[in-house]
Structure 1
C-alpha cells in the first residue's frame, strides 16, 4: 500500500502535464503472445461469452511497448495479463493464464453488474479518452520494470490502476482470494471516492467478502460461494480504535453495518455504501464522511455495529460464527474478545484500564445474572474526564435457539431488557463514541474512555 500512496501523488502531479500522445506506441490494439503455449486472446468454451466484444476495450501498457518481444501477453474482454520470459516458479502456463482471466472477469462482473460499482476501464486523466483493459503483471517472471512483491495495486503514469501479483497469489481453482482484494483496490480508486489510505485495505476486504458470498465465486462450473472471510484481528483488539495497525485490514464490520442496514435505519443500505465509495469530500476522518453520506450519527453507527458482533448478527452470520468458534478454541482469545469487569465499592463494576475502549473501540461484557428473573437493568456511568467523552451502551440477550434481542442504546443512567425465560446468555456492549473523533495514524493509540456499571435483576 505504500506504493499506492506514492503513485497517487505521482498521478496528481502528472494529470495536467502528461501528454497521452507521448505514449502513443503503448496504446495500440495489437495482441501479442510470445510464449508458444499461451494464446493472446482467450477463446476457450468457458470464456467465449466474455470475449465476444473484445475490441471495445483496447490493450495498452505504460511500462512496455506492445511490440516488445521480452514480454508475453494474453487478453480477455476487460483485462490484459503480462509476464516475462523468466518464470522462476514454473507455474505460469496456458491454463494458468486463461484461468486467471476467466476468474478476474467473473470478479469484475460481480463488482459492476451485481454490486453496482463503476467501470475501471477509463482514466481519471481528462486528456485520455476511450476504454482500456486493466493490466495485471505477473511478478517473478522477469519483468524488470515492475517492482516485485507478493501482491499490490498501483497507478501508472496514465492514471490507470494496475495489479502486480506473484503466481502463488493467483490460484485458479478454487479462485484465489488475493485477486478480488487487489481488484477491489482498483475499483475503489477508479470509482473516484476520497477513501483515506488507512481505509483502503478494509474497503478491499469488504468488497472481496461480498464477492465470496455470491455464486460469482466459482470456476469451471463449480460454485464455491457463498463463503465468507472473517475479521478476527478486529474482534481480538476490540478495545482499540480503528483503523489501527492491529486491525486496519479487518475494520470492515462498520461497512457491513452500513451496507446491510440490519436495523432498518433511514439513510443506510446498499446505495449508501455506493455513495460512500464515490464520495469525493475531504474530511478529517472517514467516520465524518460516513455521517455526511448517510445522514446517520457516527455514534449510532458505532453502537449499532458493535452490539451485533455479539452473535455476528449479519447476513453471513453462520460463517462468522464458525470463525468465532474457531477463535475461541485458542487459549487466551476469550479474554481478548470479552471483557470482564472488576468489582468496586458500592456494588459498581469498573472496566479494567487495559480494556477501556479507545474512540470507536468497544467491549462485550458477559453479565453474570439470574436468567430466571423478569428483567435485567444496567446503570451506566462514564468515568472519563475527557472533553466530549461519550458512549453507546446496549444490553444484548442470546436465546437457546440462537435468536438475539437488543435493548435500546443509551449513554447514561439506567436501561433495562425484559427476559423471556429462553435466554442462554446476556451481555452488555459498550462503544466509545466521543463527540469529536480524532484522526490517528494507524500506529498510534488513542485516549481511553473508562466507565462503570451496576447490574441488577428483578
Structure 2
C-alpha cells in the first residue's frame, strides 16, 4: 500500500505542565454509553452525524459518514474496550480516567496540502481531532492510522518528547495494520461488519533496508512509517518473552519517565527487565524472525512469499575462499540488521563465523526454514555457529547491531553514534552468500 505523508504537529505542542494520565489515584468509573459532543474541538461545523464515540463533520453524505463511523467504532472497540488502551475521549490534561468523556471529532475536508489526513490537538482541552481529505474518508489505512495518533495523544506521555517523535508514525501504522489484519481485532470487526483487510507492511523497505537504524526519520530515506513490524513482533510475542505481549500498550506510555525525552527502547528495556531479558536480545530475535517473516502474521508472510524475489538482499561482497565482507553502505546501524540468504546444494552442514572489524557489537543468528514452513533458530556463540540444512530446507544468516548500551537518539536528527554501521566479515563453509 502507498505510504501517505501526514502531519503530527509535535512542533506546535507546548511543554505540558499539568499532570499527565497516571496509573490512577481515582478508581475510574465506567464510561457512559454515549460520549458528550464537544463542538469547540477543531473548527466545528453545522452538519454532523454522531455515534457513541465519534462525531463526523461535513461528510459527503450519510453513507460516507456511516462507513467512517463503523470503521472507527470497530477500532475503538478493539483498542480501547478489548486491548485496554486509554480512550481518546479522555483529556490528556487530567490525571485520572474518571471522565468527562468527549466524542472524537472527525472533519472531512476537500483536500489537505501534501497529506491524506492529519491529527491536530487542542492543547488547552487536551483533546485531539482528525482532519481527513474527502477521498480518504472510508480508507482504514488512513483513518485508523489517524485514530492511532489520537490514542497516542490521549496517553499523553510522549507529547513534547522529541526522541519519541518519529515513533508516532510507527505506532499509528501498527494500529492501522492491527485493526485490518490481527485476530485481536477480529471480534470488533465482526461486531461492526467490517472486513478483514490486507496488511500495509512494506517488506521491500523493512527487509531490503534492514541495515538502517531501527526507527529512522531521515528525509528521503526514512523508515519510521514502515518500521511497525517491530511493534507487531513485540505485541504478538512469538518468543514468549516476559514483559512483552499486548501489555506493551499502554506500557510504553505509562512506564515512560515523565519529561525524560527517553526513547521507547528505554521503556521496553524496563518492561522486560524483571524477566532478565535485554532489549538487545529482543531486537536480535525480532530481526531473526524477519528472515522468514515468522512473527505470527499470516498475511505478512504471504506477502513475503510473493515479494521475496524483489527484496534487496545484497548485503555482502565476495572476498574469495568462502570469505565475505559487508558492503560499506549496508553495514548495520543502531539496532539494524543484515538478512543474508545462504545458498546450499542438497543436505549439508553449514558453518559460519562472523568477525567484527573495528568497534561494534553484533548478534548473529542462523535461521533455517523447513518445507513445511516451520522455522528453527540457532544462536551463534562468540560469532560462530553451525547447522545441518536438509533437502528442501533453506537457511539465512541474520546479523544485528546490538550495542552494549542504549543510546538517547532523535530519529529525525541521527548522529554518527547511531548512524554509523558496524563493519564485519563472514567465513562460510558449506554454503555461499
TM-score where L is the length of structure 2: 0.81
* 2:243 pairs with 1:270: no
Indicate conservation of the 8 Å contact 2:207/2:339, yes or no.
Answer: no
From the superposition, tell whether residues 254 and 407 of structure 1 become closer, same or farther in structure 2 (CA, over 3 Å).
same
From the superposition, tell whether residues 345 and 106 of structure 1 become closer, same or farther in structure 2 (CA, over 3 Å).
closer
In structure 2, what is the Cα distance between the partners aligned to 1:303 and 1:278? 25
* Aligned residue runs from structure 1 range 59-458, under 5 A: 59-63=38-42, 71-83=46-58, 92-126=60-94, 130-140=100-110, 149-156=115-122, 157-171=124-138, 176-194=140-158, 196-213=164-181, 214-215=185-186, 218=189, 222-225=193-196, 227-232=198-203, 233-245=205-217, 246-281=222-257, 282-295=260-273, 296-317=277-298, 319-328=299-308, 333-334=310-311, 336=312, 338-344=313-319, 347-373=322-348, 375-383=349-357, 385-386=358-359, 389-410=360-381, 412-419=382-389, 421-438=390-407, 439-442=409-412, 444=414, 446-457=419-430
Which secondary structure state, in structure 2, belongs to the residue aligned with residue 301 of structure 1? helix
From the superposition, tell whether residues 346 and 177 of structure 1 become closer, same or farther in structure 2 (CA, over 3 Å).
closer
Q: What is the aligned partner in structure 2 of residue 49 from structure 1? A: none
Q: What is the aligned partner in structure 2 of residue 88 from structure 1? A: none
Instruction: Give, in angstroms, the shift of residue 285 of structure 1.
Output: 2.5
In structure 2, what is the Cα distance between the partners aligned to 1:148 and 1:358? 30
Indicate conservation of the 8 Å contact 2:201/2:229, yes or no.
Answer: no
Q: Deviations over 1:16-54 (max 9, x none)?
A: 9xxxxxxxxxxxxxxxxxxxxxxxxxxxxxxxxxxx943
Could you tell me which runs of 5 or more consecutive residues in structure 2 were left unpaired when the two chains were aligned: 1-5, 20-31
Instruction: Give, in angstroms, the shift of residue 286 of structure 1.
Output: 2.2
TM-score where L is the length of structure 1: 0.77
The count of aligned residue pairs is 391
Equivalent of residue 5 in structure 1, options 4, 10, 35: 10
Answer with 1 or 2: which has the greater Rg. 1
Q: Deviations over 1:129-172 (max 9, x none)?
A: 6111111111129xxxx99952011111311011110121112x
In structure 1, what is the Cα distance between the partners aligned to 2:38 and 2:383? 64
From the superposition, tell whether residues 139 and 132 of structure 1 become closer, same or farther in structure 2 (CA, over 3 Å).
same
Instruction: Give, in angstroms, the shift of residue 62 of structure 1.
Output: 3.2
CA root-mean-square deviation: 3.0
